[in-house]
Amino acid sequence: MIRRSRDSPAEFAALYDRHASVIYRYAARRAGDFVADDVMSETFLVAFERRETFDPGREDARPWLFGIATNLLRRHHRAEARMLSALAKSAPREATADSSDSIAAQLDAAAATARIAGVLKGMPGIDRETLLLYAWADLSYEQIADAMDVPVGTVRSRLNRARKTLRTGLGTQLEESENEHGRLAVAPRDA
């Protein structure tokens, strides 16, 4: 598709149609809706301008596009840091007394989100980016390696370090197991 767009730029629209929504969701989760539109648009603008450099031997354009988006998001790191800081500060620290299980569950979820956001904010940027490509963009180790232009072993090391940082930062033991899709599932361990 990208190869064909070199001769016929209109062919590039199919690439946009196929991948724009996942790039948008990834950017929105990383930096918020206010940045996601810009990052998504700029990702495809950069991809279009650099389509001559795309390796036609690649089976999938997704890792290439996520690599471009991740590089653009680095520019927006300050906004991301502010968002994570605000999220960590805005969530309630303790649940208020109430008989509603629903409200208690929402407060617990908000507190957990704030704790996770705080840990993510304090994590080294490269580890955070690797973790978010895995967790939010749903890329495989190989696709992350392709997107970040690093060996697969480096991706594994970064994810291991990020998980350790999460465990330490959350102060809980996490139970990790692979789900039916071969992805690592994480849940609190029963005490």
- Domain-by-domain residue ranges, the chain? 1-75
Q: Please, what is the average pLDDT of the chain?
A: 78
Fold classification of 1-75 (topology level)? Rna Polymerase Sigma Factor; Chain: A (1.10.1740)
The pLDDT-based confidence of 4 (bands split at 50, 70, 90) is low
pLDDT of residue 94 exceeding 70: no
Give me 164's structure tokens.
């350790």
Q: Convert 155-178 to b/e letters by CB count within 10 Å (16 or more is b).
A: beebbebbbebbeebeeeeeeeee
Angle (nearest 5°) at CA 13 between 7 and 17: 150
34-71: pLDDT as tens digits: 788 899 999 999 998 888 888 878 888 889 999 999 98
Neighbours of 85 (CB within 10 A): 13
* pLDDT given at position 191: 39
